[in-house]
Structure 1
Amino acid sequence: MANSLYGPLDPAPDAGYEDAPPRMGFFTDTSVCIGCKACEVACKEWNAIPDDGFDLLGQSYDNTGGLSANTWRHVAFIEQPATSEPVFLGMPGTELPGADPEAERTDFRWLMMSNVCKHCTHAACLDVCPTGSLFRTEFGTVVVQEDICNGCGYCVTACPYGVIDRREGDGRAWKCTLCYDRIGDGLTPACAQACPTQSIQYGELSELRIRAEERVEKLQAEGVSSAKLYGHSDDDGVGGDGAFFLLLDEPEVYGLPPDPVVTTKDLPDMWKRAGMAALTMAGAVVVAFLGRRG
């Protein structure tokens, strides 16, 4: 596989896994997401995640609002005024009764996206975890071992995507595991298994990237010039994501950072400078002590 700015695309060998299997991940195609939230439900059921209160937020049909310790998959509903560009509205056959499927929308459109942990190639959460609770799996994913998490919260602030969260009344960090227990048995993650439109696709990351590029080319050929990939490049600020997306607008519209950067990229230099400063201080103390003795 190709190399990124921060190391190889497949981080499992760097984590010490010999003969690691192919890196696995998610490709989420937002152009066919219908906002059904089947992925959210399946994730909660399989992982025994607490509910979010069942309260609508008063802004849309979304009742979760974002990723959290109790929401590892979140389906965003983004309402926009219509543009002059032809809008891809979802799966064929889902038009309203009596509507002209060729007619352009003149009021608004909904963009929908099922968001999830990105399982970064270079994961800052791993760098800052003091207990080893966060670890890299043989599939290249990042998992939290809640039984040894001390609730320090360092990973929460380190994540450039704001994915990790601590559970109220618990204090420990929680996030998507990419269903590590399922994929270890050769099963598909619960969210991808439940998705009725194949918006969430699971598989070998290298194959998903090829499939995603072909999908973007197809959409652009159909006039959807806004179609673009997010998190697929191993030359971005986090060395590429293990969960990447096809978007129909700018990342900020979906609540994603436009240029994510691993927050610990300068950590080695910082430790080096701190070490040099400590040595300099120690040297000054020794010189002062010897000067007093003389």
Structure 2
Amino acid sequence: MPHANSLSGPLDPASDAGYVDAPPRMGFFTDTSVCIGCKACEVACKEWNGVPGSGLDLLGMSYDNTGALTANSWRHVAFVEQPRPVGGASPAFHGTPDGPSVSPATAAVAAHTSTDTGTFPGLPTGSPSAAARMAAGPEFLGMPGAQPPGRGTGVQGRGDFRWLMMSDVCKHCTHAACLDVCPTGSLFRTEFGTVVVQEDICNGCGYCVSACPYGVIDQRSGDGRVWKCTLCYDRLGAGMTPACAQACPTESIQYGPVEELRERAAARVAALHGRGVPEARLYGHDPHDGVGGDGAFFLLLDEPEVYGLPPDPVVTTRDLPAMWKRAGLAALAMAAATVAAFVGGRP
């Protein structure tokens, strides 16, 4: 498998890895402004990939029962309860509550699962579509007193806090440090530009765990090997949409060519700014950032730290070439000094 990981400027990671005539880079755009915290993505990921359960931990009073991305949680839906002034509701949903238009890859699935009289997992035939249910009002969530971000009325009608929800996942970095440090080639770059773990040849060294700038990669207890999101590599090869994006009822998770998703994301941010949501911003979309841009990027409604994301991620192996160069020069200098001392000390 190709295993290159250049650190020089913007690039197509698949071509950089040695693939010839690679297909467009595929990825995720997650619009947190329309995430309702249903965790359908988590369930779909586990079901399709056979990811084992990790027990039930309600983390106190939070609905966030998974807590973080782990070897047993390749998708994690974060619930962030955030104080805000009464009456300070964000108008993100005003006017057009269904959010941005979707990519053709997502729409191809939505055409069969999100019609006005379509079917959804766990809902009877003839249930309303995601957009119709969102337009119906606060009862859409199905959790007492809960509304999507921007509705502005919290538990039991209070308006003094909001819930920020985000479905987190492996970022499939352009410059992936995990690829640089893997000694067995277990981690490899696919023809779609994604990063996948071949668990059958992972030796459990854990180098990639500390190398990941996002803290995504994790070793499974009792197993020792690392596991993470593959962006459903088996489904991509068959022309199918990743399980999480297919299951998302609000199309908060969009799948498609990364360049197209970046354009759609920029348009969505501009639309939210126009509706009076100045805090909307993109994260992980910039090909000139510290990891060369992510294959999975996000629209956030607050600072990255609020969601548990690093504000300025940098590929952790960035300085390795310079370090090895300095080490080589130092070794040559020591060798030259040793030879000079030996020659100069002879009678």
Which category describes the TM-score, using the shorter chain as reference length?
Answer: over 0.9
Partner residue, 2:212: 159
The reply to whether residue 222 of structure 1 matches residue 271 of structure 2 is no
The reply to whether residue 257 of structure 1 matches residue 300 of structure 2 is no
Cα distance in 1 for residues equivalent to 2:51 and 2:75: 11
Which runs of 5 or more structure 2 residues have no equivalent in the other structure? Answer: 1-5, 98-133, 154-158
Equivalent positions of 1:10-159 (< 5 A) are: 10-83=12-85, 85-87=88-90, 88=92, 91-96=134-139, 104-105=152-153, 106-159=159-212
Q: CA deviation at 1:107?
A: 2.2
Please point out which of 255, 258, 267 is paired with 1:202. Answer: 255
TM norm structure 2: 0.79
For 2:163, give the aligned amino acid: W
Partner residue, 2:9: 7
Q: CA deviation at 1:26?
A: 0.2
Change (3 A) 1:292 1:14: same
Please point out which of 205, 212, 230 is paired with 1:177. Answer: 230
Which runs of 5 or more structure 1 residues have no equivalent in the other structure? Answer: none
Cα distance in 1 for residues equivalent to 2:7 and 2:224: 34
Contact 2:280 2:302 in 1 (8 A): yes
Partner residue, 1:234: 287
SS at match of 1:41: helix
Cα distance in 2 for residues equivalent to 1:181 and 1:104: 40
Q: CA deviation at 1:220?
A: 1.3
TM norm structure 1: 0.93
Q: CA deviation at 1:183?
A: 0.3
Contact 2:152 2:161 in 1 (8 A): no
Cα distance in 2 for residues equivalent to 1:107 and 1:96: 19
Quote the RMSD (CA, aligned, Å): 2.1
Q: CA deviation at 1:283?
A: 1.9
Cα distance in 1 for residues equivalent to 2:43 and 2:216: 18
Contact 2:186 2:197 in 1 (8 A): yes
Cα distance in 2 for residues equivalent to 1:129 and 1:289: 40
Post-superposition Cα deviations, 1:189-245, rounded to whole Å, max 9, x if no partner, equal 010011011000000001001111111111111111111110011111111000000
Contact 2:188 2:196 in 1 (8 A): yes
SS at match of 2:167: strand
Q: CA deviation at 1:103?
A: 8.1
Contact 2:10 2:288 in 1 (8 A): no
* Amino-acid identity (%): 75
Q: CA deviation at 1:292?
A: 4.3
Post-superposition Cα deviations, 1:138-169, rounded to whole Å, max 9, x if no partner, equal 11111111111111111111111000011111
Contact 1:158 1:264 in 2 (8 A): yes
For 1:273, give the aligned amino acid: R
